[in-house]
Structure 1
Amino acid sequence: MATMNVSLPDLMREWVESQIEQGEYASSSDYIRDLIRQDQRRQKLLKAALNEGLNSGRSPRTAEDILQETRKKLTDG
């Protein structure tokens, strides 16, 4: 396994240490590995959603239709 040194501001370092103290993670390396895994999953889902959108074809709605629908959703609640 390779080693990587990362510099963090004090507040971020304290956050990582608090996660370890709470028993969420065994070490700072464990915490960082989990963050990377979460980011990898998020990126995979985002790429799949983008591909789905690109492959779905053109929408019959106009940009104005979409804006009006969004405004209605925001004002209705």
Structure 2
Amino acid sequence: MAQLHVSLPADLQRYVEGRVSAAGFTDPADYLRVLIERDQHSYQADVRRVRLLVEEGIASGIVDREPEDILDDIIADIRNADD
């Protein structure tokens, strides 16, 4: 396993130590590993979501109207639904 050495200011070091103790991590490396894995999963989920939105947009076809007209229709639909 590769090693990574990280320097932290004293206040962050105290925070990490507190989190390790309070959350039951085995050591700061375990805590950091979990944070990185969470970030990785979140990033991958964001990429999947954007790809699905792009695919949905492509599949919806081309609209031959001005964006302002489409927004006006959406706003009108919302107002009519409230009545």
TM beyond 0.5:
yes
Count residues with an aligned counterpart: 69
- Residues 13-65 of structure 1: per-residue CA shift (max 9 Å, x gap): 111100122242110000000011001100110000110111111676x3682
**RMSD of aligned residue pairs (Cα, Å):** 2.8
Residue 71 of structure 2 is matched in structure 1 by 65
Tell me which stretches of 4 or more aligned residues in structure 1 moved more than 2 Å. 62-66
2:7 and 2:71 map into 1 onto residues whose CA distance is 48
Residue 22 of structure 1 is matched in structure 2 by 22
Deviates more, 1:49-58 or 1:25-34: 49-58
1:54 and 1:11 map into 2 onto residues whose CA distance is 42
Residue 39 of structure 1 is matched in structure 2 by 39
Q: Percent identity?
A: 25
2:42 and 2:23 map into 1 onto residues whose CA distance is 24
Compare CA radii of gyration and give the structure with the larger one.
2
TM-score by length of 2: 0.67
- Residues 1-24 of structure 1: per-residue CA shift (max 9 Å, x gap): 121110112221111100122242
| 2:36 maps to amino acid | I
Where do 5+ consecutive residues of structure 1 fail to align?
A: 73-77
Residue 53 of structure 1 is matched in structure 2 by 53
